[in-house]
Each structure stands twice: as C-alpha cells, then as structure tokens.
Amino acid sequence: MTAVEVIVLVAAILWIVVVVAALFVGIRVTLKLRARRRRIKRLLYVLRLPSPLVPGSMNEITKIIVSSVKMARAERRSPHWNG
C-alpha cells in the first residue's frame, strides 16, 4: 500500500466519523427541542392559554389587561383609599 492510498484511507475513515458524529449531534438537538416544545405546550395547557396566539385571542388578552388597569385606577381614586 502506498502512502497516497494510506492518506486516502485515513481521510475516508475520518470523513465517515465526522458524518456519523454530526448525525448524532443533530438527533440529540432535535430531541431536546421536541422535549422543550412539549414542556411549553404542557405549561400553556395548564395555564389555559391558547397555544397559537391568534389576533382574536390577543385582542381579548389586551382587553383583560386594560380592564384590570382601569379597575386599579378606580380603586386609587375611591374615597376609602388612604394614600
């Protein structure tokens, strides 16, 4: 076996090792992302929030926030407030 054949053989083996390692890393990252997405969906389900926030539900959330701010301001203006 000549030196050129040995170099080509080593290069081919290293290339295969790199490709297999990249495949394992890709699979691991994909599994971690899926697990994170599953945890976030579970959290949103527990909180009873809509998973995809569509403009209609965003409008409802904005209305809730605005009404709570108005209620807080009204409580500050009430005569029973000792401030």
Q: Within this chain, do residues 43 and 3 fall inside the same structural domain, yes or no?
A: yes
SS3 78: coil
Residues 6+ apart with CB under 8 A from 76: 83
Q: Within this chain, do residues 40 and 66 fall inside the same structural domain, yes or no?
A: no
pLDDT in tens, 28-53: 999 999 988 888 877 777 666 555 55
Tokens of 15: 């290339």
Q: Within this chain, do residues 45 and 59 fall inside the same structural domain, yes or no?
A: no
CA distance 3 to 77: 90
SS3 3: helix
Q: Which domain holds residue 3?
A: 1-49
Please count the structural domains in the chain: 2
CA distance 12 to 6: 10
Tally the C-alpha atoms within 13 A of residue 40's C-alpha that lie toward its C-beta: 9
Q: Within this chain, do residues 41 and 2 fall inside the same structural domain, yes or no?
A: yes
Q: Within this chain, do residues 43 and 58 fall inside the same structural domain, yes or no?
A: no
Q: Does the pLDDT of residue 66 top 90, yes or no? A: no
